[in-house]
Amino acid sequence: MLVNEMALICLLSPLLGAVAARFYCHWAYARWLTIVTITVSWLFACALFRDVAFIGKAVDLYQFSWVDIGRYHFEVGFLLDSLSLMMMVIVTSVSLLVHVYSLGYMQEDANQSTYFSYVSFFTFAMLILVMANNLLFVFFGWEGVGLASYLLIGFWQTKAYPARASIKAFVVNRVGDMGLIIAMGLILLQLGDLEYANILGRGSQLLGVVWHGWRWIDFICLGLFVGAMGKSAQMPLQIWLPDSMAGPTPISALIHAATMVTAGVYLVCRFAPWFELSPITLSIVLWVGFSTMILMGIVALVANDIKKVIAYSTLSQLGMMVGICGLSGYVFSLYHLATHAAFKALLFLSAGAVIIASNHEQDLRKISGMANHRTIHLSMFIGLLSMIAVPPLSGFFSKDAMLMFSAKQSLWPYVVMVGGAVLTALYSTRLYYLLFWQNRAINKTVPVGYSICWPLWILSAASIYLGYAMVPYLEVLLRSVDVGNQITVLVIKDIQDVAGFIDHALTSLPLTLTLFSVTVLTYVYWKKPSVLDRLIKRLAWGYDFIASQYGLNALFERYMVTGYQRLSIYCSEIVDSGLIDQRLVMGVSAQVKKASGPLARIANGKLYHYILVMLVALVLILLGLV
Amino acid sequence: MMYLSLLIASGLLGGLGVMALGSRINCRHIASGTVLISLWVFYGLTQQMVFSDGGIQLMESLPWIPYFNVRYMLGIDGLSWALVGLTLLINCIVIAGSYLVNYTRMRLYLALFLLMQSMVIGVFLAYDAILFYMFWEGMLIPMYLCIGVWGSSQRSYAAMKFFLYTFLGSVLMLVGFIYLGIQAQSFSFLQMASVPLSLFEQQWLFLALLAAFAVKIPMFPFHTWLPDAHTEAPASGSVILAALMLKVGAYGLIRVSMPILPDASAYFAPLMIGLSLIAIVYVGIVAFSQQDMKRLIAYSSVAHMGFVTLGLFLIYRAGDADMASLGMTGAVVQMISHAFGSGALFCAFGLLYHQCHERSIIKFSGLGTKMPWFSMFFLLFVLSTIGVPLTAGFVGEYLVIMTALQTMPLVGLCAAITLVLSAAYLLTMYKQAFFGMPSDIVEKVRDIHRGEVTLLLFISLVVLALGIYPQGLIQVLYPPITQLLDAAVSSKLLV
């Protein structure tokens, strides 16, 4: 079987492109090279998907031993199953589209070879993350995507804001990585191994281990989830994601919407059997996910930057996926992950087209004339409808599956989920009206080229069709994340009867509420836009509070960063140079100098003094001996 | 063939050659010839070694001062081999770097570095305490001169501080060695390891030896000489200081303190672990507000050496032998990878400093646009120091944190904070210097030329190789480490 070679080509081809494009950055065709390599990677990912995903069991491919000490074996290897293969296809497809899109988007940039190199490197790291067969190798990809994100957010390095945003993203992500590292150490202590195949089935072995009344597995799952919170930008570690919009827009589509930010969801799903054993962590996952969904959805209602609105909506959707993981509906989280990758990438890439067409204007209140831009209008419209979950678009299938699942679990998660769905409808509608209705003055827009339009068309098709197309795949996917949840099986059965599923949804509460809120908001925007203005003025304080992410951003930037700077200056000046260096080290040396005064008088270089001392000493020694 | 003596002699003779013939032939050629010869000897030596055997090999032992039973005793094992290899590699970089810059008194400069190479290799090979001490002190003088002659404005203060501080420590070490020598009737480390000592004796001896080692590593709170020495030293001096000088301290702990004084090492392990943690966390915080580029790298050096001592002394808390060797291997790998983290940063910064003679971070801005190639390499070294996977810096840090989490979870928790701290201070520095619009100073610099690219590319390849396939190094280190570990944990009190 050639699976191993295929996996290697799929993984290493983007790396080759990245390295070549970086070193031959002055070569005019460097960017085309990265497109060739990413296409190769995509083809092999698809081929692997076709060959391996449906065989019903995971394929473990050992590559080499990274570190081998005694009983500790840290290895590098791949695990291909229906979960990782789905992720590989998503990653390479979106990456390919973003590469093509960037041809047009970045065409005037002087450093575009470097840009393409970074994007290819990101793809490589993300592939490691999803292909790895053990937690350490996952960590390689985990940090790698963080690095790529850092490089790309700060790509326009002469500007101040991207520089700040990039460092924020990296450092906040590292807080999450700390959780992952700690989880790894705890796993290693109990099980002595990090390979999925060897540890995932042994979760019950951890149940008996207790430390001061705390169960070991809770610590491990919590560590893993902190890692997931960093990457998937769950509250309160979400602060890096809105600022990451400082990077080029195609990057926001690839990294901060479709792939990297879903890594946390992927990790939680990978460790689903363990999370099942830790109810306390599961409820934390649920709470964190749902609060991110609701609170960030509300922020999306007040943001005015087109990219930020979509970023907050990403946060809200991610919160939804994470929250459903907390209810043990892993398959549906992954389902939504896939459809979300399509429609969110579409939204971001459309936003990028808007930005180009409106001459780099990102403020929704100032952009005008977009309604006449047919491709942009249509793609944005489809993306938003898919996100609102209008049947039978992609987003509908996944979101309604999640809704149905939560309804069957218990009442209050269902209520919160419906709230999330309504919020989605509200901010999507608002985005649409601000973008296409508010300023209908026909300004001169900049035309966008084919390399931008083609990815939009393809992603529009995916946003319409992917949800339906994936219905049969859910059963296959379930094999990778099966935790024996009966409700999951029931819901999948329901979805497979597609006509009945849509029929049921049309009469259900969430869709009714969603469409109702869309209608109300449409009416307000159409007939009485002044109502909203008055509302904003009346609630100005609350408006600002929400826009600042409930003060979390200020807390981080003003208090934590400044406080840390103060602490550092205190340690450096008072403790390190003041106390240790001046007081202790130089103080001792000053004392020695002082004490050496009398000694210097004795050691004055006069020979007869020395001889006298020697004689006295000799006499004393002799007396002592006697 | 007396490979080990040849290896030490080649540097010495090369140094003499540079001084004697340097006026007639280009002294750089003589120096690089010498390093090539040393490498060739090293190659021959490598052929002779059996890496699966963890014991001492190629032993050379001759009487030196028979009256005191002092011997000229050299030997090598996998650990020494790796460190000697590191020394030669770093010296290659420094000598190659000398082609790129011009210093006054070039002959003396090169001769001193060759002398230093001999002395450092001597420390790694010596098995006799007096010989060890001699090489140890011999290393000090060239470094002192290097800072004092080629340093920047505050050089005499820094050189004096460096010399006195380290000298004070090593004198105490000598006292300890003499006591041990009297007890063992021999100055051989092997004899010393088997002599029975009471806990009380061991404790005092441990502190005496620690005085020398802790200053060299440097451990908190003996670290304040290092930022001064680094800021004032020339780039090459900083590279040697960071990459080699700091390593001999840790090497001393592994080779001398732990096998000879196992019970005292176990007794003081909590203290050492505590000090290491302070180095990792507190010094990491201090580094954040440094305004001087070299000071910042120096502080990051101290923080990263904290992982070495942490890994070493965690073995006394480890549950079993494998866990202990995980920590010790991590510590040794960290020693080597740190040379390619901080050492590489100093080397790269040296190339920049050579152009603009400015160290203050705040004066730099926009290097990324003016020097794209340089900033690429510099970023790689920064990432290695931060400990991003697939670079050298990750391996040691990861192994030590894993050991810590398994032996003392709370210690591991604190050590893991370094992930955030190091990213914060190094990336803030990188942002200030490399992002933004070019500042006045930066406007005048040019990007690195082909020779400099080659030099940095070479270092980068080592950094990546160590990060991608550390097992290549670890399979050399593992056999001697298991042996040293045995000695380090077998108590002398029951004998």
Is pLDDT of A509 > 90?
no
**Percent of the residues in chain B that have a pLDDT greater than 70, as a whole number:** 99
Residues of A in contact with B419 (CB under 8 A): 174, 177-178, 181
Instruction: Specify whether A544 is located in the same domain as A567.
Output: no
Which of A167, A188, A568 is nearest residue B285 as measured by Cβ atoms? A568
Which of A531 and B79 is assigned the larger pLDDT? B79
The CA distance from B99 to B106, in Å, is 10
Which of B326, B376, B389 is nearest residue A143 as measured by Cβ atoms? B389
B493 DSSP 8-state letter: S
Residues of A in contact with B471 (CB under 8 A): 64-68
CB contact under 8 A, A154 and B412: no
Q: What pLDDT score does B194 carry?
A: 86
* Residue B164 burial by Cβ neighbours in a 10 Å radius (0-12, 13-18, 19+): middle
Q: What are phi and psi of B99, to 5 degrees?
A: -75, -20
Structure tokens at A449: 């080229």
Q: Quote ipTM for the complex.
A: 0.90
Of the listed ranges A185-194, A204-213, A563-572, the one predicted with least confidence: A204-213
Is pLDDT of B276 > 90?
yes
Partner A contacted by B478 (CB < 8 A)? yes
* Pick among B154, B163, B281, B285 to test the A interface (most A CBs inside 10 A): B285
Is pLDDT of A128 > 70?
yes
Is pLDDT of A546 > 90?
no
Asked whether A193 and A199 are in contact (CB, 8 A), the reply is yes
Tell me: the pLDDT tens digits for B393-435?
Answer: 899 999 999 999 988 888 999 999 988 999 999 999 998 888 8
Partner B contacted by A512 (CB < 8 A)? no
CB contact under 8 A, A181 and B416: yes
The overall average pLDDT reported for chain A is 86
In chain B, the residue whose alpha carbon lies closest to the alpha carbon of A175 is B420
CB contact under 8 A, B285 and A140: no
Under the banding of pLDDT at 50, 70 and 90, the label for residue A603 is low
State which residues form the domain around A570: 555-592
Mean pLDDT computed over B365-371 = 86
Mean pLDDT computed over A118-134 = 92
CB contact under 8 A, B289 and A167: no
**Percent of the residues in chain B that have a pLDDT greater than 90, as a whole number:** 43
Structure tokens at B23: 């006026």
The overall average pLDDT reported for chain B is 89
Q: What residue spans define the domains of chain B?
A: 3-489
Which of B285, B368, B406 is nearest residue A185 as measured by Cβ atoms? B406
In a domain, A533, yes or no: yes
* Token pair 């390190």: residue: A576
Instruction: Specify whether A434 is located in the same domain as A472.
Output: yes
In a domain, A448, yes or no: yes
Asked whether B106 and B22 are in contact (CB, 8 A), the reply is yes
Enumerate residues 129 to 168 of chain B having a beta carbon within 8 A of any beta carbon in chain A. 161, 164-165
In a domain, A457, yes or no: yes
Instruction: Specify whether A392 is located in the same domain as A498.
Output: yes
Instruction: Specify whether A383 is located in the same domain as A401.
Output: yes
Under the banding of pLDDT at 50, 70 and 90, the label for residue B1 is low
Tell me: the pLDDT tens digits for B63-86?
Answer: 888 888 888 999 999 999 999 999
Partner A contacted by B16 (CB < 8 A)? no
Mean pLDDT computed over A290-296 = 91
Where helices occur in A278-393 by DSSP H, the ranges are 279-302, 306-326, 330-357, 374-388
Is pLDDT of A371 > 80?
no
Q: How far is B88 from chain A (nearest CA, A)?
A: 25
CB contact under 8 A, A70 and B405: no
Mean pLDDT computed over B152-158 = 84
Partner A contacted by B368 (CB < 8 A)? yes
In chain B, the residue whose alpha carbon lies closest to the alpha carbon of A569 is B289
How far is CA B192 from its chain centroid? Answer: 25
Is pLDDT of B495 > 60?
no
Which of A167, A211, A575 is nearest residue B428 as measured by Cβ atoms? A167
Structure tokens at B204: 């005092």
Residues of B in contact with A166 (CB under 8 A): 431
Under the banding of pLDDT at 50, 70 and 90, the label for residue A442 is low
Smallest Cα–Cα separation from B106: which of B29, B27, B34? B27
Is pLDDT of B494 > 70?
no
Q: What pLDDT score does A537 carry?
A: 82
Partner B contacted by A12 (CB < 8 A)? no
In a domain, A622, yes or no: no
**Other C-beta atoms lying within 10 Å of the C-beta of residue B449:** 11
In chain B, the residue whose alpha carbon lies closest to the alpha carbon of A158 is B436
Smallest Cα–Cα separation from A216: which of A177, A188, A193, A197? A188
Tell me: the pLDDT tens digits for A26-56?
Answer: 888 888 899 999 999 999 999 999 888 888 7
Is pLDDT of A126 > 90?
yes
Partner A contacted by B318 (CB < 8 A)? no
Under the banding of pLDDT at 50, 70 and 90, the label for residue A361 is confident
Q: What pLDDT score does B469 carry?
A: 92
Q: What pLDDT score does A440 carry?
A: 66
Tell me: the pLDDT tens digits for A297-327?
Answer: 988 888 888 888 999 999 999 999 999 998 8
In chain A, the residue whose alpha carbon lies closest to the alpha carbon of B482 is A70
Tell me: the pLDDT tens digits for A253-292?
Answer: 888 888 888 999 999 999 988 888 888 999 999 999 999 9
Residues of A in contact with B325 (CB under 8 A): 69-70
Instruction: Specify whether A584 is located in the same domain as A463.
Output: no
**Other C-beta atoms lying within 10 Å of the C-beta of residue A552:** 15
Instruction: Specify whether A516 is located in the same domain as A579.
Output: no
CB contact under 8 A, B321 and A70: yes
Enumerate residues 166 to 185 of chain A having a beta carbon within 8 A of any beta carbon in chain B. 166-167, 170-171, 174-175, 177-178, 181-182, 184-185
Tell me: the pLDDT tens digits for A83-109?
Answer: 899 999 999 999 999 999 988 888 888
Which of A444 and B230 is assigned the larger pLDDT? B230
Q: What pLDDT score does A626 carry?
A: 60
Number of domains in chain A: 2
Tell me: the pLDDT tens digits for B7-56?
Answer: 999 999 988 888 888 777 788 888 899 999 999 999 999 998 888 888 88
A393 DSSP 8-state letter: S
Tell me: the pLDDT tens digits for A195-233?
Answer: 888 888 887 887 877 877 788 888 889 999 999 999 988
Q: How far is A460 from chain B (nearest CA, A)?
A: 37
The CA distance from A174 to A143, in Å, is 8
Instruction: Specify whether A538 is located in the same domain as A584.
Output: no
Where helices occur in B340-449 by DSSP H, the ranges are 342-356, 367-370, 372-386, 392-407, 409-416, 418-434, 440-444
Asked whether B3 and B38 are in contact (CB, 8 A), the reply is no
Instruction: Specify whether A490 is located in the same domain as A576.
Output: no
Q: How far is A139 from chain B (nearest CA, A)?
A: 8
* Token pair 């007939």: residue: A527
CB contact under 8 A, A182 and B405: yes
Which of B166 and A597 is assigned the larger pLDDT? B166
Asked whether B325 and B341 are in contact (CB, 8 A), the reply is no
Partner B contacted by A581 (CB < 8 A)? yes
CB contact under 8 A, A170 and B409: no
